[in-house]
């Protein structure tokens, strides 16, 4: 990681790498290392789907995700699947953007209802 940090041209990226180095050092010292990986799937033109509709493409990407889950399961790696994906993503973004603050200040429970109302998912 230090090698990547030295070669990184973007100052913000370099700071994030240095922050990760520090956090890993703390994890090693406390024997509490936990790895979090994110897999991102992108629809490619050569991928076969049952049509060109958004629903067909979503179905194809979900099939890719299922295949990845099966492979990770064979490797005995745990794949976390949140009950409410949108809430999970909102919380994750908050934790990534506010690394230090999010450790002591959690998102209020009502924030999930507020974002739902803003995006017009349901009206009461």
Question: pLDDT, tens digit, for every residue of 3-25?
Answer: 888 888 888 888 888 888 887 76
pLDDT in tens, 65-84: 899 989 888 887 778 777 77
115 compared with 49, residue with greater pLDDT: 49
Contact 28, 22 (CB under 8 A): no
Query: Residue 117, Cα to own-chain centre: how many angstroms?
Result: 23
Contacts of the segment 108-114: beta carbons below 8 A, 24+ positions apart: 112/84, 112/86, 112/87
């Amino acid at each position: 990681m230090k090698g990547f940090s030295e070669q990184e041209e973007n100052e913000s990226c370099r700071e994030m790498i240095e922050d990760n180095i520090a956090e890993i050092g703390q994890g090693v010292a406390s024997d509490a290392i936990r790895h979090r990986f994110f897999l991102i799937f992108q629809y490619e033109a050569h991928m076969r789907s049952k049509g060109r509709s958004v629903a067909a493409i979503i179905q194809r990407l979900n099939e890719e995700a299922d295949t990845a889950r099966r492979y990770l399961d064979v490797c005995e790696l745990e794949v976390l699947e949140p009950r409410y994906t949108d809430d999970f993503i909102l919380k994750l973004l908050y934790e990534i953007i506010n690394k230090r603050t999010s450790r002591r200040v959690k998102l209020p429970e009502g924030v999930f209802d507020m974002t739902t109302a803003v995006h017009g998912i349901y009206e009461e």
